[in-house]
Structure formats: C-alpha cells, structure tokens
Amino acid sequence: MAFSVSFTVTQSADGATLSLKDTSNYGDGGSFNKADFTSRTLYVTRGDDLVENVEPFPYTNTNNSIQDVHAWTIDQDYVYSIKMVLIHNSSVEYTYTAQVITTEFTNKKLRQILSAFSTCGCENNCRLAEKMQCGIDAATARTCAGDISQAQQLMAYVNEIADNHVNC
C-alpha cells in the first residue's frame, strides 16, 4: 500500500485553540512506520501576514496507531495555509498542504448580534446576518482556491460589520 500523508484541523468550541491531528497512514501494509521518518515539520502561513512560520511537529510516540496532535492558540479567526512535510529515512519527502478557515469567533459574534435584536432597530440590521454569512461564504471560497490573503480580508470585513453593529 502507498504511503499517504494527511492531517485534519479542528477549532475548539471557544474558538481559542486549533488542533492539527496527523492522520497519515503509518504502518499500513507493514511499511512506512513512524520510526522510518527522520522529521516532521509544519509550515504555517496565516492570511493576515503571509509569513511562513516553521513549526517542528515531533512524534510523541513511535506507535503507528497513535495520532499525534499539535495545538496552538488564536485570538480571532484567521485563514491558514498549512503544509506538513515528512522526510523518510531514505531521503524521500512527503508533503500535504491544506487551506483552513476558522470561523468560531465570527459565528459567536453573529449569534450575539442576532440575539441582541428582534426587530430592525438600526439601519440594515435586517440584512446583517445575510451580509455576514455572504462574507464567510466568500472567504471560504477564496480559501478553497488557495487565496488566503483575500480570504483573510473578507474575514476582516465580516468582523468589521459585526463590530459596527455594536456601535449603532
């Protein structure tokens, strides 16, 4: 069986923690064991600064069935491009890249805003949820296309809409 490098990313319910779980198929067919890889590194690019940050992601256990997790904290929603690079002891490099958009902070703001009014007290409040959802959908589409910078700008727009509601 061929080796397949992969991971999943989840955001905690409070939005403050991202967890990346290595779901690569170590040990399938008796080959490509964790111990056969000399390194595992994450290259994380956040949409608001586009500087690639290098984060070592060491194995916590060489047991193939244990899925290692790397977590970090955030203070607002961001768009990410995350690349995981595994180097096999035969000097073969395996890479997996995924774009990730976090929305828990934004969704929490949206729920708070929607619960704050039952009628359209401020101008355009009736369409506020629609505008925010359209912005999130557009950011998601940009993220899927790999345009993390534009996706991050759309998320900033959504947050601005939410923040302006508080001041109306």
Which amino acid is present at 147? Answer: D
Per-domain residue ranges for the chain? 7-101, 104-166
3 state DSSP class of 150: helix
Q: Which two tokens stand for residue 150?
A: 């534009």
Q: What is the pLDDT of residue 145?
A: 76
Residue with tokens 């929305």: 103
For 114-139, how does the pLDDT look when each residue is reduced to its tens digit (9 = 90+)? 766 555 555 555 677 778 888 888 88
Reported CATH class of domain 7-101? mainly beta
**Which whole-number Å values give the CA distances from 79 to 63, 83, 110, 138, in the listed order?**
32, 13, 18, 12
**Which whole-number Å values give the CA distances from 142 to 14, 30, 80, 163, in the listed order?**
24, 39, 11, 23
Residue with tokens 């409070």: 14
For 48-105, how does the pLDDT look when each residue is reduced to its tens digit (9 = 90+)? 888 899 998 988 888 998 999 999 999 999 999 999 999 998 889 999 999 999 989 8
Residue with tokens 């993220």: 143
